[in-house]
Amino acid sequence: MYCINHTSIRPYLCSVSVFFLFILTSMQGLAKSEYTEIHYPNSQSQYDIRVKYPLELLALALSKSSTPYKLIKSDEATTQSRALKLLHDEGGLDVVWTMTNLEREKDFLPVRIPILKGLIGWRVLIIKEQNQPLFDNINNLKQLKKLVAGQGLDWPDTDILKSNGLVVQTSTNYDRLFEMLQKGRFEYFPRSITEVWLELSQRPEQQLAAEKKLLLYYPTAMYYFVKKDNNKLANDIQQGLEGAIEDGSFDTLFYTYNQVLIDKSTLSERTIITLTNPQLSKDTPLDNTALWFSLPREQIPDTPLNQGLGYLH
């Protein structure tokens, strides 16, 4: 089992895979004709262990189905766009988890339960360690527009940042973005609070750091997506997730992986810069508060910029 080298995070991630390993091990004893194979995408980077939580949650959801499933990793490492192409045109994948947008919901069948409770849109900025003074006097979106952000070329976040007037430098390569930041090609790399601490702990040699005072927020969701005509798999995932929400195992898994990351992000101490998301579908279940992480009202920093944040209740 792989555990990242960070003392404050390791105990959480080293203890969460027992259930997942049990599922995979138990399925190995079934004859091939007795289970349905579900192929999922391989990570595009050797450092990228973000697959662990959504894969374990998927295993949890499918374990509640009467259909026996076996999860199989694809042979090739894939970018987001490549994974979606394999899901759509070429076959080879049965499920992909990724951030939603209008195009993806048109091309694929989304399971509209946000598997990260919306935390994919809560963004801390990764910066060069010595560049914190550049951000110390930034308090609003207008001021942030003077700096350049980095993002993946095929990520929905790129369109969100640009639609809000932010300047964005892109790359098709995930690892390359950290190198570009280090070399000064852009000043900040917005990352979900579920990602930033893992990514920094994996790259100590690059002298990168989490910016100390700002938080970008935009409403969005990471969903499981399946082929447009695969209603059976979509329904099984949907019902499995709903069952996990009802019996509490969803929240147990979510907070086991993410509570330490939420705590490290010191959300109540940050100035929140809210962005609009024109790519968010009207079918997004924003009214179902049980599906979303929220910051209690008393923890919202009392600044003019943060007033009226109704989604943080």
CATH 3.40.190.10 in the chain is located at 10-116+222-264, 119-219+266-306
At residue 299, the pLDDT reads 53
At residue 88, the pLDDT reads 83
**pLDDT tens, residue by residue, 141-182:** 999 999 999 999 989 999 999 999 999 999 999 999 999 999
At residue 165, the pLDDT reads 97
> What Cα–Cα distance (Å) separates residue 95 from each residue in 16, 107, 158, 234, 243?
22, 13, 23, 9, 19
Q: Which fold has domain 10-116+222-264?
A: D-Maltodextrin-Binding Protein; domain 2 (3.40.190)
Residues of the chain with pLDDT under 70: 1-33, 44-49, 90, 296-313
Q: Count the Cβ atoms, other than its own, within 10 Å of residue 202.
A: 18
- How many whole angstroms separate alpha carbon 254 and alpha carbon 244? 11
DSSP 181-205: HHTTS-SBEEEETTTHHHHHHT-GG
Whether 80 contacts 98, CB under 8 Å: yes
At residue 32, the pLDDT reads 54
pTM of the model: 0.83
Please say whether the structural domain 119-219+266-306 has been given the CATH code 3.40.190.10: yes
